[in-house]
Amino acid sequence: MQREEIQRQILTILEDLFEFENPGLNDNLRDDHGFDSIDAIELLGEIEKILGFSLTRAEKEKAMTIRTINDILDYIEVIASEHNK
């Protein structure tokens, strides 16, 4: 899956499910959009749908460092590449 496709899917999720308006790739999710821990759990569920598999506990813990949309995209690329080895 290409980064552009992942970005399109993530932006759609953030706009439709979390009601983000014109999110920037480097916006701080919490500070700029009021994203909280419950939102993060919901987003991880959406990421699992994109990836087509369930994340392990360790993979979910890696998500704790996510602060921006670019971080989300990087995270998905790393997880996807680890599963495609």
> pLDDT digits over 33-80, tens only?
999 999 999 999 999 999 999 999 999 999 999 999 999 999 999 999
Separation CA 35–CA 28 (nearest Å): 9
50-83: buried (b, 16+ CB within 10 Å) or exposed (e) per residue?
A: ebeeebeeebbeebeebebbebbbebbeebbeee
At residue 85 the predicted structure's pLDDT band, cuts being 50, 70 and 90, is confident
* Domain hosting residue 22, numbered range: 3-83
CATH number for the domain that contains residue 46: 1.10.1200.10
What's the CA gap between 20 and 82, in Å, rounded?
Answer: 30
Number of structural domains the chain divides into: 1
pTM: predicted TM-score of the whole model, two decimal places: 0.93
At residue 84, the pLDDT reads 83
